[in-house]
Amino acid sequence: MGSCDCMREFCCCLVRVVRWIPVVFVSSVIVWASYAYLFELCFFHLYVEKDAKVRAGLYGIVFIILMLLFVASYARTIFMPVGFPPRKFYFTREWQDEIKASRDESTTQMIINRFVHLQGIPVRNRNYDGGYRYCVKCSCVKPDRAHHCSVCGQCVLKFDHHCPWVNTCVNFYNYKFFILFLGYGFTLCIFGMATNLETVINFFEYTPHKTISSIQLGILFLLSAVFSISLAALFFYHLYLTARNRTTFESFRSPMLENGREDKHFFNLGVRRNYREIFGESPWQWFLPTWTSLGEGCIYPERGQREACPVSWEGNGITFHERSAFGERYSLLRTVDEDDDLLGDDSDVEVFSATELV
């Protein structure tokens, strides 16, 4: 029995080590690409050979800024603690024993329903049968948008997916950093390709003793092209998901509500508010790898909740600058009914009609 436990522990440790291989690979590519670009391209090729000191300095500064933002976003995506449900969502030993003793699913749901109400747990998402979502492995009620990750072995808040390239779950706490990681990686690849294009075109014009340098820059260009395609696909896809306030998981399985109805737009607050939920209130902080996301990971605004918006007079009507989840703006226009003459010239009766402006 002891040997089995040791073997199991050894296998678990081995799996944990293997999961870091993609991260080590990406980190190695980052180090090598930085060397190839800054030393082989900017210093030796532009600064020394072509005497293009200004261009070399400009390329180097822009590359370093983009690389620092990229590495910071990547590191925060990896090392940001995964969001797990708060303690009140977990069943105590007494509740677990009561659930295990239940004879059928309806009895289990009655127990969970009592637990949810006693604990004051705010949940709107349901199972397909209308019951509360709970995790047998974690012994907890799942918060809205939370799901169990089989790799992490835990329920994760606002679970998007488990990414092997960062060796962690993309979730509520690191989603902004993940998008920035994709965005800065894509920008870095495009910038590297554009500034390295000249050396690739003139690849065969190098003298023999420059062959190793030219080969490195050629490989750098090819890697930038390959990574830019994959990063662009992921980056723009997640921008699309953010605009609709969905996760990757929810794009395949829409949230289920109390009435047994699926609603893929349930958390959609409109493009502007959706982006603020992820990137924060201050636009100038959107592009920095700092924590600015709104909320605490368990409760999310719903589509029916509107923002308080100002009212303004425009011409002969009133415009209510209110946007719903789909961004509609409604304008009340001042019109005069054809039968107003029957009321006399001194009548103050006006008819307002609503028009939708998208």
**Which amino acids are annotated catalytic?**
163
Rounded Cα distance between 225 and 43, Å, is: 22
Backbone angles phi, psi at 127, to 5 degrees: -80, 175
Q: What is the Cα gyration radius of the chain? A: 28
Rounded Cα distance between 324 and 261, Å, is: 21
CA distance to 7, 11, 12, per residue, from 4 (Å)? 5, 11, 12
* Closest CA relative to residue 238, chosen from 181, 179, 282: 179
> Contact at 8 Å (CB) between 192 and 37?
yes
Beta bridge mates, 134: 141
The two structure tokens encoding residue 244? 């609709």
> Contact at 8 Å (CB) between 30 and 71?
yes
Q: Residues for the chain: how many in total? A: 358
